[in-house]
């Protein structure tokens, strides 16, 4: 079920110091909200629908620091279990570090390619699975799973929830990037020890994701793995049940029919 | 490092059948894109910045099926490792199932409360940590980790990536909900076996998250755990490094100073 949290070694971790309790017990503060107007709602749905995992479409233009800062702030605004904010974002532009990250991709890519044979193997080798050389900026997302000490509110039931928080941060960053005209590719094929060595990441810190970012002026209309025939998009009705597992009765079909 | 994928039992899983390879090898299709205009970009950032983990603000109004369908479609538009789309969404409105989910929360809550003692324990018991009774709709997100067979493109390097894909789907749903004026609370304190039993979820399927959804007309201006003094928001500059771990030189500070 669970992904265990590795023990913290005696070596110093990069945890921030324990925060002092605030002097006031409660400062509840609310703001009135309403549904976004139609144009704003459409903008949110447009970011969600047109976001792509970019491999080949990166332009060489640099990303302005102010834009990069907005993307990082969007990521940092993500929800996190027990408000632990476990993430750290490494922004990599140094050519030597970049080359080392590309080596970490190639190492894992050769290993994975060997697992697909025959027609599937040919199809695999025809795919472009990273854009690390083309993208001007790399972002590595890590999790400090010890950041709040051993007992984290909400994480006691599932140790993986802190990693899920990091994925929410990545999705925030991805959607903000889409709105900024910046493409993002999540390079999941990467040798973790090589990546760790390339960026001096301590053993106490977990590597969550390697992202490639760069400006784009075109995107695929649907995922590359769909266009290249690797897999088909599932129907929404096939991934929704009502009230219990396996219940595809009138409920979800009625919902989906209204789409 | 990794969260292992449990073995698939001999019992039938709910995997869709293996999809046939398409007849055409490649159908690359692109569309020209540009940065969103300022209003649309602001809408995306507004959803990201004002999204909250809702506990106490749910209104009893039902969620219209067409809106619920849009939220589920937004979730289904998330990225997934190897395009495996591992998620299933269970939409729960049946009173008996809802009560069983609330029991699953209470069971875990009592267990977790015992882990916080003294002043921390008092603070913990003063927190409202679920809104299951108030929210008219519950959504449980699960992962079918066997959906694409044992070898999934990109997952070979980190078995947890399929769960991270599910978290991206949840964040999509959360931001879409914010734009629709719907609050969402991720209830991470829940007894997994009790939840599984409540919804007849097979052992081969992993429970990722229990979400409570309902219309809201107010939201907190910052996270409840921050307002109630449980933890403080970290500074963005403290969670950004440049080029390598620990490098807080001019780079990230220059970025952040421009915020």
3-state secondary structure chain A: CCCCCCCCCCCCCCCCCCCCCCCCCCCCCEEECCCCCHHHHHHHHHHHHHCCECCCCCCCCCCCHHHHHHHHHHHHCCCCHHHCCCEEEEEECCHHHHHHHHHHHHHHHHHHHCCCCHHHHHHHHCCCCCCCCCCCEEEEEEECCCCCCCCCCCHHHCCCHHHHHHHHHHHHHHHHHHHCCEEEEECCCCCHHHHHHHCCCCCCCEEEEEEEEEECCEEECCCHHHHCCCCCCCCHHHHEEECCCCCCCHHHHHHHHCC
Are A245 and B124 inside 8 Å of each other by CB?
no
Contacts of B78 in chain A (CB under 8 A): 171
pTM: 0.93
Q: In chain B, which residues have their Cβ closer than 8 Å to the Cβ of A210?
A: none
SS3 call for B139? strand
Q: What ipTM, to 2 d.p.?
A: 0.93
**Residue in B157, B162, B219 to test binding to A, most A beta-carbons within 10 Å:** B157
- Decide if A206 and B72 are in contact by the 8 Å CB cutoff: no
Are the Cβ atoms of A188 and B81 closer than 8 angstroms?
Answer: yes
Tell me which chain B residue has its CA closest to the CA of residue A256. Answer: B69
The residue of B45, B74, B210 whose CB has the most chain A CBs within 10 angstroms, and thus the best one to mutate to test that interface, is: B45
Q: B250 to chain A nearest CA, in Å?
A: 12
Q: What is the pLDDT along chain A (259 residues), one digit of tens a residue?
A: 456 777 665 333 333 434 444 445 568 999 999 999 999 999 999 999 999 999 999 999 999 999 999 999 999 999 999 999 999 999 999 999 999 999 999 999 999 999 999 998 998 998 999 999 999 999 999 999 999 888 889 998 889 999 999 999 999 999 999 999 999 999 999 999 999 999 999 999 999 999 999 999 999 999 999 998 899 999 998 899 999 999 986 666 666 675 6
8 Å CB contact between B211 and B218: no
- Give the minimum alpha-carbon distance from A42 to chain B in angstroms, rounded to a whole number: 8
Residue ranges of domains in chain A, CATH in brackets:
52-228 (3.40.109.10), 234-259 (no CATH)
Out of A151, A168, A179, name the one closest to residue B44 (CB).
A179
User: CA neighbours within 13 Å on the CB side: how many for B257?
Assistant: 7
Cross-chain Cβ contact A81/B188 below 8 Å: yes
Instruction: Tell me whether residues A154 and B26 touch, CB distance under 8 A.
Output: no
Q: How many CB pairs under 8 A join A and B?
A: 445
Residue of chain A whose Cα is closest to the Cα of B138: A243
Across the interface, which of B14, B29, B218 has its CB nearest the CB of A246? B14
């Amino acid at each position: 079920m669970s992904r265990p949290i590795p023990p913290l070694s005696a070596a110093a971790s990069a945890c921030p110091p324990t925060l002092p309790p605030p002097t006031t017990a409660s400062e509840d503060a609310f703001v009135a909200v309403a549904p976004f107007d139609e144009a704003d709602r459409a903008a949110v749905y447009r970011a969600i629908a047109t976001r792509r995992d970019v491999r080949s479409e990166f332009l060489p233009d640099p990303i302005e620091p102010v834009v990069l800062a907005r993307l990082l702030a969007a990521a940092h605004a993500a929800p996190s279990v027990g408000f632990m904010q476990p993430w750290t974002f490494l922004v990599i532009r140094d050519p030597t570090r970049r080359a080392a990250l590309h080596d970490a991709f190639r190492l894992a890519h050769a290993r994975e390619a060997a697992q697909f044979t025959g027609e599937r193997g040919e199809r695999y080798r025809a795919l472009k699975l990273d854009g690390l050389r083309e993208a001007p900026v790399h972002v590595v997302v890590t999790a400090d799973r010890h950041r709040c000490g051993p007992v984290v509110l909400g994480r006691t039931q599932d140790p993986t929830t802190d990693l899920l928080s990091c994925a929410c941060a990545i999705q925030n960053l991805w959607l903000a990037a889409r709105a900024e005209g910046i493409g993002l590719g999540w390079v999941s094929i990467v040798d973790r020890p090589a990546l760790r060595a390339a960026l001096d990441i301590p053993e106490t810190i977990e590597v969550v994701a390697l992202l490639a970012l760069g400006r784009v002026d075109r995107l695929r209309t649907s995922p590359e793995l769909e266009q290249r025939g690797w897999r088909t998009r599932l129907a929404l009705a096939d991934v929704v049940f009502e009230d219990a597992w396996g219940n595809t009765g009138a409920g979800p079909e009625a919902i989906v029919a209204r789409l």
